[in-house]
Amino acid sequence: MGGRIDDFAVVESHPNIVYVGTASGGVWKTTKQRHDLGAGVSTKESVSTIGDIAIAPSDPSIVWVGTGEANNRQSSSWGDGVYKSLDGGKTWKKMGLEATRHIGRIVIHPKNPEVVYVAALGHLWGANPERGVYKTSDGREELVARFP
């Protein structure tokens, strides 16, 4: 089933900039004060199911997106990890966690955008070693370090 909105994120210093993550339609961004959604920003990535979006509070051009819808439903689609944009969604770099399938939450440190935490659900319908909280401290390397 399509049409679900899984997450949205707003640039606090410019509340007319909004990112919307969908269950099966990728990430959309608007920079207008009207109610249209503008253009999709993740159409070139390998999956279109989004679990979470986070904007760095200290630098709104840094956006992280976790793929894989985190809602536990019979129609939930899985993703292929986490992506990072340094240019407000124009380009994306894969940051790892491909095997986690479903990203439920991304938190970026309020003052240091290099510190990022990711909550991964792993496979929704069973125990698996990919489930957990992951962290990067330098924001440049792939996000593969599991947080104890």
Q: For the segment 38-77, what is each residue's pLDDT rounded down to a tens digit?
A: 555 554 567 778 889 999 999 999 999 998 877 766 666 7
Enumerate domains of the chain plus CATH numbers: 5-146 (2.130.10.10)
What integer is the mean pLDDT of 123-138?
83
pLDDT grade, residue 85 (50/70/90)? Answer: very high
Distances (CA, A) of 144 to 19, 41, 44: 25, 25, 23
Distances (CA, A) of 11 to 8, 39, 52, 113: 10, 17, 15, 14
Q: What share of the chain is helix, strand, coil (3-state, %, to 5)?
A: 0, 35, 65
CB 98 within 8 A of CB 109: no
